[in-house]
Amino acid sequence: MNSDWQAITTQTATEHARFMAALRDPEAAQTAQLLTILERARHSQWGKRHGYGSIRTVADYQARHAPTDYAELAEAMAAMRSGEQGVLTDEVVLFMETTAGSSGGAKYIPYTASSLAALQRGLYPWLHDLLQHHPDICRGRTYWAISPPLRSRQATAPVPLGIANDALYFGEALADKLSRLMIVPEASGSDSFADWRLATLLALLRSRDLAFISVWSPTFLTDLLRWLEANPAPCLDALRRAGETARATELETLLVTAPLDTHCVWPQLALISCWTQGSAKQFLPDLQRYFPHLHIQGKGLLATEGMVTLPLCAAEAPVLALHSGFYEFIDAEGRVLTCQELEQDASYEVLLTTAAGLYRYRLGDRVRVRGWLEATPMLDFVGRAGLVSDLCGEKLDEAFVCRALQAQDNTVAVSGFAMLLPCTAPRGYVLVLDAAMWSDAGAVQYARTVEERLRANPQYALARELGQLQALRPHRVSRPWVRYRDFLLTQNRRLGDIKPPVLGLHPELAAIFALQPAQTDTACTAETEQG
């Protein structure tokens, strides 16, 4: 075993053992987490306002503090971004990350030393368990897609955007070892997606000892490999320019032979980690066709805001990350429950309390109880709460899309019916418009305007830059409102309750709006289809 891998295995063992022991008493572990988090926030502006210094039990916390959402925290987050300390937590904010939000398109999430340590208390048990069950990973190097590519870190801001080195998410104790094992594409000095794609493929292709890949969406890999299949020459040329003549010669026949034989390209590749639940599930078959010989492990629910679950090889589903935050769950009747009060097969919305300043925070994700490991729940991610479309991590919700469709300037005049319809073939969104209200030229112009507004969502913008989503496509159709209304009437909806949504998530809407066959494979995540 490589000495760096050996050191990583050794250094993650203690946290793994601690986590496995805590599975027998999740209530004690969760109570300890909550009280520790509140103690570190008692002197902050927020902590003083809610009396965190006098809270002694979970019941005290729930009685003192109502659930929150990002809109309630937006002013505090803006203050923290400007460098103000002591707002939501007593700790120094080290940096912030962005994620998708309904208000303005982006949410800024703070990270502190304690929140990074909480993340590591989930990452270490997962990584140790993975290395124990898949030791072949230790035969080579790894590729991790963690921070968004094509993003400047903005380290000169009062509070930096993003972390200096992705390996630091694992803590300084492991960062140097993981850095030596990580395959990192060379920066091209360009913001071009094409340059990033070629640099990433070059880094992967020159690494014959690639043993482990960790990405978010399965489409991240499949889109890269699909382009590689269609464009082997630029990749081979890049290898030769990098001095990898022998590797280019080895790959010359492999890259021009269809289908791509990934086992021969990366003979030591042992495992891929990516999303496998929720909307990602529909993209797994494409990834498995590229890697039929490999095990693909699903990630747990790891949001920018914090870790909720982590995968263990012996568990049927990801397990609640007991030491990474405090978790509550809202059931179908609106009751708020702790982890020991959950029921088999029931679905819940997650409330998250973190060491970085999120308190009883509505994460917007829903989970379903698959069972228990010891006494701790195993939870499947089932999708976003409310009306949300999520093809590859962009998470467009109804409120944000509604704002994107509104006339916010004088460039276009919005007329009549307008709905975004998510599609997977080709993957992206179709803007359904009333043919009687829009000319071809006007529809194209409006779609471009809406596309730019959608890019205010950082995950949507990233998916577009990475080629995971195509540009918004206008589709003019006659009498769209009548088609939609009549369809819902056949679904036993009352006429007075029917209103046109801005997100069309029902799988039959593609046919209702007469989309072309290449556009009819709709896919999305939603809790309910709202009229």
**Stretch 94-98: mean pLDDT:** 92
- 420: which DSSP letter? E
What is the 3-class SS of 452-495, one letter each residue? Answer: HHHCCCHHHHHHHHCCCCCCCEEEEECCHHHHHHHHHHHCCCCH
Domain that holds residue 437: 388-519
Averaged over 483-493, what is the pLDDT?
A: 79
Q: Which residues contact 473 (CB under 8 A, 6 or more apart)?
A: 428, 429, 430, 431, 447, 519
- Report the candidate in 346, 386, 381 with the shortest Cα–Cα distance to residue 366: 381
The answer, yes or no, to whether residue 152 has pLDDT greater than 60, is no
Domain membership flag for residue 288: no
Residue 197 region by backbone torsions, left for phi larger than 0, else alpha for psi between -120 and 50, else beta: alpha
Q: Is residue 31 part of a domain?
A: no
Number of alpha carbons in the 13 Å side-chain half-sphere of residue 297: 26
Output the pTM of the full model: 0.83
pLDDT band at residue 131, thresholds of 50, 70 and 90?
Answer: very high
Domain for residue 398, yes or no?
yes
Q: Is residue 459 part of a domain?
A: yes
* pLDDT for res 505: 86
- Rounded average pLDDT over 456-483: 92
Per residue in 247-294, pLDDT (tens digit) is 999 999 999 888 899 999 999 999 999 999 887 787 888 899 999 999
Quote the CA–CA distance of 119 and 171 in Å, as a whole number: 9
**Structural domain contains residue 508:** yes
pLDDT tens digit sequence for 180-239: 999 988 875 566 778 889 999 999 999 999 999 999 888 889 889 999 999 999 999 999
DSSP 8-state class, residue 260: P
User: Residue 277: what pLDDT?
Assistant: 86
- Which residues contact residue 499 at a Cβ distance below 8 angstroms, ignoring those fewer than 6 apart? 531
pLDDT digits (tens, 9 = 90+) for 285-313: 889 999 999 999 999 999 999 999 999 99
Stretch (H or E) spanning 367: strand 361-373
Instruction: Determine the pLDDT at residue 525.
Output: 31
Q: Of 242, 102, 95, give the one whose Cα is nearest residue 160.
A: 95
Q: How confident is the model at residue 101 (pLDDT cuts 50, 70, 90)?
A: low
CA distance 407 to 115: 40
Neighbour-count burial for 286-298, b at 16+ CB within 10 Å, e otherwise: ebeebbeebeebb
| Average pLDDT for 310-327 | 97
Average pLDDT for 389-416: 75
Q: What confidence tier does 156 reach under pLDDT thresholds 50, 70, 90? A: low
Q: Please indicate, yes or no, if residue 70 is contained in any of the structural domains.
A: no
Surface-to-core class of residue 409, CB atoms within 10 Å of its CB (0-12 exposed, 13-18 middle, 19+ buried):
exposed
Residue among 151, 174, 173 at smallest CA distance from 163: 151
pLDDT for the residue 530: 29
Instruction: With a cut of 80, say whether residue 21 has pLDDT above it.
Output: yes
Instruction: Give the whole-angstrom CA distance, residue 334 versus residue 409.
Output: 39
pLDDT band per the 50, 70, 90 thresholds, residue 493: low
Exposed/middle/buried for 95, CB within 10 Å: 0-12, 13-18, 19+?
buried
- Mean pLDDT for the stretch of residues 39-63: 96
Q: How far is CA 235 from the centre of its chain?
A: 29
Q: How far is CA 166 from CA 4, 54, 465, in A?
A: 17, 37, 20
- Kindly state the helix (H) or strand (E) to which residue 5 belongs, with its residue range: helix 3-22
pLDDT above 80: residue 346: yes
Report if residue 60 sits inside a domain: no
Peptide bond into 234 cis (omega under 30): no
Residues above pLDDT 70, as percent of the chain = 90
Number of domains making up the chain? 1
**Does the pLDDT at position 155 exceed 70?**
no
Q: Region 311-334: what's the mean pLDDT?
A: 97
Poorest-pLDDT segment among 231-240, 373-382, 515-524: 515-524
Could you tell me if residue 222 is inside a domain? no
